[in-house]
Structure 1
Amino acid sequence: MPREPPYFYAPSVPRRFRSAGGNIMTTLTGIDSRRGTTAKTRDRSVDLVRAILLIVVVGLHSIMAGVGVGAGGIVMENALDNLPGFAPVSWFVQVMPLFFVLGGFSSFTQWTRMRERGHSPADYVVTRLHRLLLPAVAVIGTVAAALLVMTIIGVPADLIATAGFRISQPLWFLGVYVLCSALVPLLVGAHERRPVLSLALLGTAALSVDMLRASTGISGLGFVNLVFVWLTVQQLGFWLAEGRCERWGVRTRVAVGVAALLALFLLSVPGPYSPDMYENLNPPTICLILLGIAQLMLFTVLRARLREVAERPRIAGLVNAVGARSMTIYLWHMPVIIALAAGLLFLNATVAVPLPDPLSAGWWLTRPFWLVAVGLAVIPVVARLGWIEGAKRAELFLSGTRMLTPRVIAAVLLGAGAVLVILVTGFALGGAIIALGMLAAALRLVAVTGARSTARSAAVPAHHQ
């Protein structure tokens, strides 16, 4: 997944929100408006690794795109499903646990900074919903329109359904991240009171779901761990943010990481779980928690060196560019990949451009060119649409005193539910329309909440804000 930086990218902040000392501006962006410098607490190593992980996700999804023409017609498949020996490779390229760990770090940092400035849990959640849902409206609306046009011009229904399904698959992250973000204030409080107990309870809940799924044979029960597994991994990020892991010596951290990998090996190779970490993603299992622990330990060991690299001016500039548009990159890369695949099919049909069979020698030889093509196609799309990710948020970051309101809770459920509708329907037109309606309702609810926060803040004397 995409980066949710500890300080939100805001292209501009109205003058009335620039409080004395620049506190609001610093909270939003991590930049002290009086000095033009990055806040001291910003960790560039986290920014760097999250940018790298996002690029890995885009690259891996690009490799997965297997397009060809077989005896039965056009084939559009996940090429890696048929790759022999992919299971051990998946231990290295399954990066979602570390994404959620670093997301937990950023969430902890952002919420605690907002809380120190008098913001309420509702303020935090409204902020997250805007960052996550605004770009989603754009991509879902555009993809639905494109699939409708394909239907009108006579593209075969099965090909449209396959394209919609492939585009919808990465959206699971958005739905889960909406729920995880909404629970950050609650879980940070639990962590601050009982760090070990809160982590243990979430991990135990994830293990219980796995055991219940195995004992009943009802595979659908495993999807409950879309909540418990990722909340557990997010909680690990809270430990990282407080520096708890780095209080241990390097040898201890290495030992913990090795122990986690050993437990993962025993559970997945001779044990009941799949050794393929992508099979353990759908539905999530405790294997991803163990992998996340190992990845966290590796990150802490390499962190000082990563920070040195991340602070180089050119690299910092690239990392900032990716981070400011991370959700846009994540949401749009798959539609771009599918559009490029459709272009290849068109060229094959019109000018007989050959399409090598997925996983053949010729197919692998063309992958570097394919990856470059995807990158070159994603860049202008993100440059054109990235502004949406930073739009209309400043008015939401005003002081509030209330806990989560029914409006905010309803917005969270509508946002996550919209993603669920897309996943279930595979971007069918009716499902896309319903999802867009749910997202519009969620954004309307948080806009009303933001407006009420503005009114409350305006009624408070400046020396109380």
Structure 2
Amino acid sequence: MLTAERPRPVAPSDLGRRPTASDRDPAIDAARAACLVVVFVLHAMMVGVSVGADGPVLENALEGWAGFAPATWVVQVMPLFFVIGGYAGWTQWRRERARGADAAAFARSRLLRLVRPAIALVAVITSVLLVLAAVGLPADMVATAGYRIGQPLWFLTVYLACSSLVPAMAWLHARHPWLTLGALSVAALSVDAARFASGVDAVGYVNLLVVWLLVQQLGFLLADGTVDRMSRPARLGTAAVALAVLAGMIAAGPHSVDLFANLNPPTICLAVLGVAQLAVFSLIRPALRRWAQRPRPQRIIARFGEWGMTLYLWHLPAFVLLAGVLLVLHHAAGLPLPAPLTAEWWWTRPVWLAAAALVTALVVRGAAHWERRPAAPRRMVAGDRAVRGFAVPVAVAVPAAIAGVGAVLVLGFGAWPGLLSLVLLAVALRGSSTRAGSLRLASAA
């Protein structure tokens, strides 16, 4: 839909140029922080903890709310997350290329940033849930808690895959930007068509990679200046057309008007929404940049940049912990726990959000102790010799990381899935610090 102007071809040599100050854009960091806040508030509002006739109830509080589907058109920010990720991936890849790194070194840097938080999460949550089951907490409640905690892991799995493919996708974008976008769009539409025609939802999970690679590719258009070269009316028109197309697709069926229902499995609707969000963000980006450069916002945004992944992974465990505390207080002191969506429940949400923020901050600071421990070796660049000891090729480490996170995402936080996940993530972590099996895609770019 961004067809107002053909992008200036990016020379292969441009991918390796030295970064300028504009490579770190405060507006990008601010948008990422805003997305995290939206996700935090949304997930906090989804937590419903009450006591029914059969005992404690932990549920999705917004599941029966009639206003949820319309609200998703505003709070579904995952496409913008991946657009920003595409921008960041493109600029980081150029930066690494300028320092002599190849594609394998780039993938290792992403692994190191993402795998360590995942190891801490899987180890702690698996242990805690096993202890709770052993002391007699109802099995269905333990299973529900594990399911809720594991939900954010889909993002980590997909983000690992998309991030690792940035060098290859940047290579394609530099040569055939519109052809690449078109091919990914056709592939996503084809997966949707096959899924709805067959009635087999599992077919749609192919789009976990296709749709998010497509949205990440939109971020490349922001990073290489294509979007900024469009006039403001053209970008406004692009956003309007994208939203109109999205509404038309949903009206024609079979896509859901609930944009969160389009998330699992992902559909082409999310990519269309991503086009609209990209265009709108590009319009507000200058004003957002000026605001983000002020001292106080700058400090707050820097905190989100430092703790962002930790916050994302640990906010739901913090919510479950807080829900457990509320249940204890209910039984010990008669603390009222209103049923979700009642008037009393809505009136108590500000208090709940404040408590959730406090508990999450404490949990995040504790979890970050593991993540901040020195583990990263020196920067790996082309020409380095393999480190001594057991070496894991990056071509093995990336799939191991994806499978490790996927194990608990699909199978839950049980003893054996947790152990399998930790083994695979340990392999991935080792691969993040070795040169063995380096994929020198950079030489092809």
Using structure 2 for the length normalisation, give the TM-score: 0.90
Take 1:329 and 1:315, find their aligned partners in 2: how far apart are those partners?
A: 18
> Quick one: which of 206, 219, 225 aligns to 2:207?
225
How many angstroms apart in 2 are the aligned matches of 1:190 and 1:40?
Answer: 23
Matching of residue 289 in structure 1 with residue 271 in structure 2: yes
Structural RMSD (CA): 1.9
2: CA distance, partners of 1:93 / 1:373: 21
CA distance in 1, matches of 2:431, 2:276: 40
Q: Which runs of 5+ in 2 are unaligned?
A: 1-17, 385-390, 439-445
* Compared CA separation, residues 419 and 399, structure 1 to 2 (3 A): same
Q: Which residue of 1 aligns with 2:387?
A: none
The one of 329, 345, 352 aligned to 2:327: 345
Counterpart of 2:109 in structure 1: which amino acid?
Answer: T
In structure 1, C-alpha distance between the alignment counterparts of 2:235 and 2:352, rounded to whole Å: 39
Larger deviation, residues 77-86 vs 173-182? 77-86
Whole-angstrom distance in 2 between the partners of 1:362 and 1:62: 16
CA deviations on 1:316-359 (whole Å, 9 max, x unpaired) are: 01100110111101011010000001111111122221110001
Task: Provide the secondary structure at the position in 2 that maps to 1:74.
Answer: strand
Match of 2:441 in 1: none
Any conservation in 2 of the 1:53–1:95 contact (CA below 8 Å)? yes
In structure 1, what residue type is equivalent to 2:132?
M
1:131 equivalent to 2:117? Answer no
Q: Which residue of 2 aligns with 1:371?
A: 353
2:407 corresponding residue in structure 1 = 421
**How far did 1:144 drift?**
0.8
Letter in 2 for 1:418: G
On the 8 A contact 2:400/2:427 being kept in 1, the answer is yes
CA distance in 2, matches of 1:150, 1:369: 27
- Name the % identity: 46
Match in the other structure for 2:173: 191
Q: Summarize the alignment of residues 149-298 of structure 1 with structure 2, pairs less than 5 Å apart.
A: 149-298=131-280
The residue identity in structure 2 corresponding to 1:423 is L
1:313 corresponding residue in structure 2: 295
How far apart are residue 429 of structure 1 and its match? Answer: 2.2
Query: Quick check: 1:127–1:396 contact (8 Å CA) kept in 2?
Result: no
Determine the C-alpha separation between the residues in 2 that align with 1:93 and 1:327.
19
Q: Does 1:140 align with 2:126?
A: no
Using the alignment, how far apart are the partners of 1:387 and 1:111 within structure 2?
Answer: 28
Match of 1:445 among 417, 428, 431: 431
Q: CA 1:238–1:389 in structure 2 vs 1: closer, same or farther (change >3 Å)?
A: farther
Question: What is the alpha-carbon distance in structure 1 between the residues aligned to residue 175 and residue 199 of structure 2?
Answer: 37
Kindly state the Cα deviation for residue 445 of structure 1 after the two structures are TM-superposed: 2.5
Question: SS of the residue aligned with 2:58?
Answer: strand
The aligned residue for residue 362 of structure 2 is 380
| Cα distance change, pair 320–387 in 1 and its aligned pair in 2 (3 A) | farther
Equivalent in the alignment of 1:96: 78
Instruction: Assess if the C-alpha contact under 8 Å between 1:123 and 1:396 holds in 2.
Output: no
Please name the residue that 1:55 is paired with: 37
* Aligned equivalent of 2:306: 324
User: What SS is found at the alignment partner of 1:349?
Assistant: helix
Question: Does structure 1 residue 336 correspond to structure 2 residue 325?
Answer: no
Q: Is the 8 A contact 1:356 1:363 kept in 2?
A: yes
1:161–1:428 Cα contact (<8 Å) kept: no
- What is the CA distance between 1:391 and its match in structure 2? 4.7
Deviation per CA, 1:104-144: give whole Å up to 9, x if none.
10000001111122111010000000000001101111111
Contact map agreement 1:127 1:393 (CA 8 A) in 2: no
Q: CA deviation at 1:446?
A: 2.6
Match of 1:64 among 14, 34, 46: 46
Q: Secondary structure at the match of 1:432?
A: helix
Distance of 2:415 and 2:341 partners within structure 1: 32
Q: Is the alpha carbon distance of 1:123 and 1:333 closer, same or farther for their aligned partners in structure 2, counting shifts above 3 Å?
A: same
Aligned pair in 2 of structure 1 residues 387, 113: CA closer, same or farther (>3 Å)? Answer: farther
Number of corresponding residues: 415
CA offset digits 1:289-327 (Å, max 9, x no partner): 011100000000001000000000111011001101111
Q: Does 1:107 align with 2:106?
A: no
TM-superposed CA distance for 1:387, in Å, is 4.8
| Structure 2 Cα separation of the partners of residues 445 and 100 of structure 1 | 25
Q: TM-score, normalised by structure 1?
A: 0.86
Please state whether the residue corresponding to 2:152 is helix, strand or coil.
helix
- Paired letter, 1:297: A
Indicate conservation of the 8 Å contact 1:130/1:443, yes or no: yes
Provide the C-alpha distance between the structure 2 equivalents of 1:110 and 1:387, rounded to a whole number of angstroms.
26
Q: Distance in 2 between matches of 1:99 and 1:317?
A: 21
Question: Deviation of residue 210 (structure 1)?
Answer: 0.3
Question: 1:341 is aligned with what amino acid?
Answer: A
Shift of 1:218: 1.0
Contact 1:94 1:277 in 2 (8 A): yes
Which secondary structure state, in structure 1, belongs to the residue aligned with residue 259 of structure 2? coil
Partner of 1:399: 381
User: d(CA) in 2 for partners of 1:58 and 1:193?
Assistant: 38
Cα-to-partner distance string for 1:164-215 (whole Å, 9 max, x where unaligned):
1110111100000110011010000000111111111111111110011111
Amino acid paired to 1:168:
G
Aligned to 1:408: 394
How many angstroms does 1:61 deviate by? 0.5
Distance 2:359 2:392 in 1: 41
Say if 2:172 and 2:180, in contact at 8 Å, map to a contact too: yes
Cα distance change on mapping 1:348 and 1:93 into 2, 3 Å: same
Secondary structure at 1:76 match in 2: strand
